[in-house]
């Protein structure tokens, strides 16, 4: 096959590296894990992306989750345009932010009160501060492979982009910050119990991706989330579900709706902004009343509750509230994963597996689904890189890292899935021949 021209992306990447570290504004975009030149995109519509050279791709990232209704959905675009005509930012309260908060509360009852932010990182950072203020304790428990934004105290054996470079921590984080963070293995029930036995009186909060997505998609094993809930309740610690990625992406009530496990606090992002910068943190009323101006925990943001971002989020959430939305999205994603596994087996590749929850998925060059970070890192990364480029050449844009989950939209029915399947069949054959 003739490879598409990427001359414009190459030129833009060379230009970008002169003024932007690594030529990108988020590390995983640099293609360092898979090699090659990152694509610079110019347009998105429905399930497709177009790069600066005019090449079209089936998008399996969906802006890392937010584009759940498809790119540039007319109802979302219309809401943004109307909001923008009224002004881009006021630095003051608006009706829209109240409506968004009420919508979230009605669909996630655990979030009795909440505060809007401009990003998921802001949301997790603030939730941890509130948990510490509420409990009067300092230590935070997190899990290896889970990523909660670039918060100093949480960049300890972090997941996501840092894993891509094989670097378990970040420079610039003082040891004193890291000392207050206890890092456990994801899905290690005995480890959780032992940690609480040793440190329970000092633990302010446990923060967890209830379905991990930043070390690729990893489900919680039976009993893991239940153990977190029980141990936090017993010790008086705050259980924080980081649903920045999974909130309104895996189901109508996130992971807490799928599992029936209620956290004390929740952080949200991505889908609730509909593609615009928006996040939120919230939880039980007695905890959230610690936040200024009601309480002593300070948190603020000039662009928090930005009217344009709120309009995009509300429009998106109204669409995902439609009957059968998540049933349809779940089926689309399951069909896609089953097709990939079938194509791998047809090519004679046994060292491949795939999983999905709602509109979120993971592909792994390993025989079985991972349960821990060690399982993920043991998969064949070189094989993934070859598969990534083979798919890219055939018009499918995968996450440029073996350690990232993928996302589909409600617009991926029909032709996009057919294109993805055909590309996979040819790509598996190619990498096997290699």
Whether residues 250 and 363 fall in one domain: no
- Res 419 pLDDT > 80: yes
Give how far Cα 37 sits from Cα of 6, 65, 77, 313, Å: 8, 23, 30, 32
CA distance 224 to 157: 20
Among 288, 320, 352, where does a domain finish?
320
pLDDT in tens, 307-361: 999 999 999 999 999 999 999 999 999 999 999 999 999 999 999 999 999 999 9
Q: Identify the bridge partners of residue 406 per DSSP, sorted by sequence position.
A: 361
pLDDT at position 402 is 95
Same domain, 309 and 175: yes
Query: Is 32 inside a domain boundary?
Result: yes
Q: Which of 270, 364, 371, 375 is catalytic?
A: 270
Helix (H, G, I), strand (E, B) or coil at 313: helix
Looking at the structure, tell me whether residues 345 and 425 fall in a common domain: yes
Residues 275 and 296 in one domain: yes
Give the pLDDT confidence score for residue 159 in this predicted structure.
43
Q: Are 34 and 401 in contact (CB under 8 A)?
A: yes
Judge if 81 and 18 occupy the same domain: no
Has residue 398 got a pLDDT over 60? yes
Q: Which two tokens stand for residue 230?
A: 């029980």
Q: Is 69 within a domain? A: no
Does residue 1 fall inside a structural domain?
Answer: no
CATH number, domain with residue 372: 3.90.1150.10
Q: Is 147 a catalytic residue?
A: yes
Reported confidence tier of residue 433, pLDDT bands at 50, 70, 90: confident
- Paired residues of 144 in beta bridges: 185
pTM over 0.85: yes
What CATH number does the domain containing 184 carry? 3.40.640.10
* Under 8 Å between Cβ of 1 and 393: yes
Do 385 and 282 reside in the same domain of the chain? no
Set 134, 147, 186, 403: catalytic member: 147
Domain-embedded: residue 286:
yes
Residue 271 lies in a domain: yes
- What element of type H or E holds 24? none
The per-residue pLDDT of the chain, averaged, comes to: 94
Q: Among 19, 49, 66, 3, which residue's Cα sits nearest to residue 309? A: 66
- Pairing of β 41-45 and β 279-283: unpaired
411 and 338 inside one domain:
yes
- Is 161 a residue whose pLDDT tops 60? no
283 and 309 in a single domain? The answer is yes
Please say which residue of 287, 320, 353 terminates a domain: 320
Same domain flag for 91 and 140? yes
170 located within any domain: yes
- Buried residues in 120-154 as b, exposed as e (16+ CB within 10 A): bbbbbbbbbbbbbbbbebebbbbbbbbbbbbbebb
Do both 340 and 385 map to the same domain?
yes
8 A C-beta contact, residue 221 and residue 232: no
Q: Is the pLDDT of residue 89 over 50?
A: yes
Last residue of a domain, one of 320, 338, 365: 320
pLDDT of residue 178: 75
Return the closest-CA partner of residue 409 out of 100, 104, 49. Answer: 49
Tally of domains in the chain: 2
Give the integer Cα–Cα distance in Å for 384 and 404.
12
Quote the strand ranges of 252-338, DSSP E.
265-268, 279-283
Instruction: Give per-residue pLDDT as tens, 189-231.
Output: 999 999 999 999 999 999 999 999 999 999 999 999 999 999 9
Q: Using CA atoms in the order 299, 208, 68, 382, what is the torsion angle rounded to 10 degrees?
A: 120
197 and 211 assigned to the same domain: yes
Structural domain includes residue 255: yes
Domain that holds residue 339: 7-60+323-433
**Helix, strand, coil percentages for the chain (3-state, nearest 5):** 40, 15, 40
270 has catalytic annotation = yes
Taking 80 as the threshold, does the pLDDT of residue 152 lie above it? no
- Does 297 reside within a domain? yes
Confidence of residue 154 (pLDDT cuts 50, 70, 90): confident
Identify the active-site residue in 51, 59, 242, 375: 242
Q: Is 242 annotated in the active site? A: yes
The verdict on 202 and 91 lying in the same domain is: yes
């Amino acid at each position: 096959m003739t490879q598409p021209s990427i001359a414009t992306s190459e030129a833009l990447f060379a230009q970008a590296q002169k003024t932007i570290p690594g030529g990108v504004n988020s590390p995983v975009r640099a293609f360092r894990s898979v090699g090659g030149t990152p694509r610079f995109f110019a347009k998105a519509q429905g399930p497709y992306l177009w790069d600066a050279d005019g090449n079209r791709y089936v998008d399996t990232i969906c802006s890392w989750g937010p584009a759940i209704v498809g790119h540039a959905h007319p109802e979302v675009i219309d809401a943004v345009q109307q909001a923008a005509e009224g002004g881009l930012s006021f630095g003051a309260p608006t009706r829209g932010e109240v409506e968004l908060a009420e919508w979230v509360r009605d669909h996630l009852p655990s979030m009795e009160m909440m505060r809007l932010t401009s990003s998921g990182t802001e949301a997790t950072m603030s939730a941890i501060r509130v948990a510490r203020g509420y409990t009067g304790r300092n230590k935070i428990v997190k899990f290896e492979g889970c990523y909660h934004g670039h918060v100093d105290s949480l960049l300890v054996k972090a997941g996501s982009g840092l894993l891509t470079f094989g670097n378990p921590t970040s420079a610039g984080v003082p040891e004193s910050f890291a000392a207050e963070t206890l890092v456990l293995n994801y899905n290690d029930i005995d480890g959780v119990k032992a940690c609480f036995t040793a440190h329970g009186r000092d633990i302010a909060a446990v923060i967890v991706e209830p379905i991990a997505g930043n070390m690729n998609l990893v489900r919680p094993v039976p009993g893991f989330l239940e153990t977190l809930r029980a141990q936090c309740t017993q010790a008086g610690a705050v259980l924080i579900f980081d649903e920045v990625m999974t909130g309104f992406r895996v189901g109508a009530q996130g992971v807490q709706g799928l599992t029936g496990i209620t956290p004390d606090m929740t952080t949200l992002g991505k889908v609730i902004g509909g593609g615009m910068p928006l996040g939120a943190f919230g939880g039980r009323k007695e905890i959230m009343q610690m936040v200024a101006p009601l309480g002593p925990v300070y948190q603020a943001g000039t662009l928090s509750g930005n009217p344009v971002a709120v309009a995009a989020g509300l429009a998106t959430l109204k669409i995902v509230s439609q009957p059968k939305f998540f049933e349809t999205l779940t089926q689309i994603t399951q069909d896609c994963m089953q097709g990939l596994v079938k194509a791998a087996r047809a090519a004679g590749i046994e060292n491949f597996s795939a999983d999905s929850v709602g509109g979120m998925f993971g592909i792994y060059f390993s025989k079985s689904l991972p349960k821990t970070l060690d399982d993920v890192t043991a998969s064949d990364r070189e094989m993934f890189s070859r598969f990534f480029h083979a798919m890219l050449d055939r018009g499918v844009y995968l996450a440029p890292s073996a350690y990232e989950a993928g996302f589909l939209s409600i617009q991926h029915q029909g032709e996009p899935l057919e294109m993805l399947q055909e590309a996979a069949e040819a790509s598996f054959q190619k990498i096997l021949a290699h």
